[in-house]
Amino acid sequence: MSHTFTGRRAAAAVVAAALLVPLSACGNDDSTKDGGDTKATESAAGAPKANLTVLAAASLTDVFKTAGAAYEKKNPGTRITFSFAGSQELVAQVKQGAPADALVTADTKSMDSVEADTGTPAVIARNRLVIATVKGNPHKVDELKDLGDAKLKVVLAAPEVPAGKYSKNILDAQKITVRPVSQEPNVRAVLSKVELGEADAGLVYKTDAESATDKVDAVEIPDAQNAIAEYPAATLKQSQHAEAAAAFVAWLSMPEARKILADAGFQQP
């Protein structure tokens, strides 16, 4: 299927295509080719077969690759391609008309900003912040207030990113002033800076730190000082595979998907 984009829509399509992360190198596309002349066939599990594109928050990168593979196994003939980025980037893609079937953000505010473009969202998981430090925690970062040390190289997500908003909120609440050496476009970029030793510490989600235990240490933040991130998922009204997209979004709230998310360290909604 092809679409014609002009101006910003064309740019959005290029960006989305560049970010796509396919789960498999092959797969049959039995979905509609021309917007509706051919009905999607049913998979063995009952969901329509389709090639789906899902825009998902960067912090879901590892767990969604696992979840997507499980869904494809359960629904032969369906292929899911993920585009991972900061939630604010995903929202921009939706607003500019980039072709996709579903959206999962790391906060409800981002999802609410594209309410006119989505179905009814459902929170599929929650997360919390931790302090990621260089392996071995050589600078002895033990609590949130240590991030205010001017000698410490701290990296944060940018303020417009959900992880950046959560970070700012908890630091402001504790009256801790942090002058980050950089502000990154998504939480995975924060983690990468710490992994590479380009920063001494950074605020990331617990699940991000758990995905890199061989490269970083995680310092827990007490509940009273922390923030809870919510991950809503919704279908996109522009989807050319509405039934298949709805089936995948619904599956994300089912026991199999919840177990995959829980095993990766996400909290139940």
Q: How far is CA 56 from CA 78, 90, 124, 177, in A?
A: 18, 7, 12, 31
Instruction: Tell how far CA 165 is from the center of its chain.
Output: 15
Q: Is residue 23 part of a domain?
A: yes
- Structure confidence by residue, pLDDT tens digits, 12-29: 444 444 444 444 333 334
Identify whether residues 213 and 250 lie together within a single domain: no
- Structure confidence by residue, pLDDT tens digits, 66-81: 999 999 999 999 999 9
The CATH number of the domain holding residue 189 is: 3.40.190.10
Pull the structure tokens for residue 20.
Answer: 């796509």
Identify whether residues 134 and 222 lie together within a single domain: yes
Helix axes 61-74, 255-263, angle to 10 degrees: 150
Identify whether residues 121 and 135 lie together within a single domain: no
Q: Is residue 269 part of a domain?
A: no
Q: Is residue 268 part of a domain?
A: no
Q: Is residue 3 part of a domain?
A: no
Domain of 24 in residue numbering reads as 8-125+230-263
Classify 137 as helix, strand or coil. Answer: coil
The more confident residue out of 198 and 41 is: 198
Please measure the distance between the N-terminal and C-terminal CA atoms of the chain and give it in whole angstroms. 36
Identify whether residues 117 and 18 lie together within a single domain: yes
Asked if 133 and 216 touch (Cβ cutoff 8 Å), the reply is yes
- Structure confidence by residue, pLDDT tens digits, 31-79: 333 333 333 334 435 678 899 999 999 999 999 999 999 999 999 999 9
> Total domain count for the chain?
2
